[in-house]
Amino acid sequence: MRARITGAGHYVPTRVVTNDDLAKLFPTSDEWIQQRTGIKERRFIEHSGIGASDLAMPAAKSALEQAGLGPKDVDAIIFATLSPDVYFPGSACILQHKLGCRQIAALDVRNQCSGFLYSLQIADAWIRAGVHKNVLIVGAEVHSTGIELNERGRDVAVLFGDGAGAVVVQPTDGERGVRTVEVAADGVGYKELWVEAPASMCDPRIDHKMLDEGRHFPKMNGKQVFRWAVEKMPEIALSVLGKVGKTPADVDLFVPHQANMRINQMVAGKLGIPEDRVVHNIERYGNTTAATIPIGLSESWKDGKIKEGSTVLMAAFGAGFTWGAAVVEF
C-alpha cells in the first residue's frame, strides 16, 4: 500500500500588492526587492475578517474536485500554517466545519515553511498504516495582517504574501505515488526567524510595551537563514533521491519552497537541475510559507508541467529551523 496525490488546488486573494505599492509605505524599492528576492508582487487579503481557513476553502474544494471526492469523503484534514485563523483552536477544525465534512480527524501542523512536507509525511504514514484513507492536506497563510509595514519591519515585510494550496492523498496499490518524505529540525535556530509574542512564557502574554516594540511581528536574521537553507535543502534533496535509487537527472520537476529566488537558483545549481525543470512563482506571490509547495504543485499540474509519470522533487527550509524533501511519482 502506498499513498498517491490525486488532486491539487490553490487560491490566492484578488488584491495584488506590487513592490511599488510597498515603496509608498516605507523606504524600499522595486529594484532592491527584485534583486535580493525575485519578488515582483504578492497577494494580500481584500479586507479584515478573512482567515487562513477562508483561503483554504477554494483550494481544498478544487483539490477534492480533481480527486473526484466531496467533503463527506474526507477522512482526515491536516492544516499546515503559521498564521492560523485564531490562536486556538486549530484551523483544521475550522476548515472541517466550513467544508461540511463528517466528524473526522483534524490536525494543525505548525512547521512553517516545511509544514507541507511534514504534513505529507504524516498523511503518507497514516495511509500506509491503514489509519486513514482520504487525507486532505492544506497549506494556507494570511501573512498580511501580521507583518510590520514600516521601516522597522521592512526586511521581513517585503517577503511574505497570502495564499493557500491543497492536495488530496489517497491509497493506491500501484507503483507510483509518494516514494519517500524526509523531514528534520534543529531548534538551535529558533530565534533566527520567529514571532516572540504573544507567548505563554510571558505574563501577560502580550502588553502595551511589547506592542510598541513590535515584538508581535516576525523577526529574521536573513543571512543566517539563507546560509542554512542553501546547505540543508540540497543535502536533504539528495538524501530522498538516494533513498529511492534516483539522482537529480531523474527529476522531471523540482518544486522548491519559495522563500527567495536566489536560494532556489543556488539549490537547483548545487543539485544540477536545469532552470526549465524548476518551479518559480515567488515573483507573483512572494513567500506564502506552508502554501508555496502545494500552490506550485497545483499550478504545475494545471499547466501540464506535471503529467502522468512525472517524477517530482520537493524541498523546503524555514523557521525552527525545520527542513524537508520528498520524491513523488505522479
Which of 87, 223, 304, 308 forms a contact with ligand UT7 (CB under 6 A)? Answer: 223
* 318 touches ligand UT7 (CB under 6 A): yes
Q: Where are the beta strands (DSSP E) in 70-147?
A: 76-80, 105-109, 135-141
* 194 touches ligand UT7 (CB under 6 A): no
DSSP-H helix ranges across 68-114: 91-99
Nearest residue relative to ligand UT7 (C-beta): 222
- SS3 annotation, 197-223: CCCCCCCCCCCHHHHHCCCCCCEECHH
Q: Select 229 or 236, whichever has its Cβ closest to ligand UT7.
A: 229
9 to 28: interface string for ligand UT7, x by CB under 6 A: -------------------x
CB 294 within 8 A of CB 116: yes
Cβ of residue 165: shortest distance to ligand UT7, in angstroms? 15
CB 18 within 8 A of CB 41: yes
Cβ of residue 189: shortest distance to ligand UT7, in angstroms? 10
Closest among 193, 220, 164, 160 to 33, alpha carbons compared:
160
Catalytic status, residue 113 = yes
C-alpha cell at 51: 482567515
Q: Select 169 or 319, whichever has its Cβ closest to ligand UT7.
A: 319
CB 294 within 8 A of CB 139: yes
Three-state DSSP class for residue 107:
strand
Looking only at residues 247 through 306 of this chain, which bind ligand UT7 when binding is defined by CB under 6 A? Answer: 259-260, 263, 287
Q: Select 198 or 222, whichever has its Cβ closest to ligand UT7.
A: 222
Instruction: Give the residues lining the site for ligand UT7 (CB under 6 A).
Output: 28, 32, 36-37, 113, 154-155, 158, 193, 222-223, 225-226, 229, 259-260, 263, 287, 318
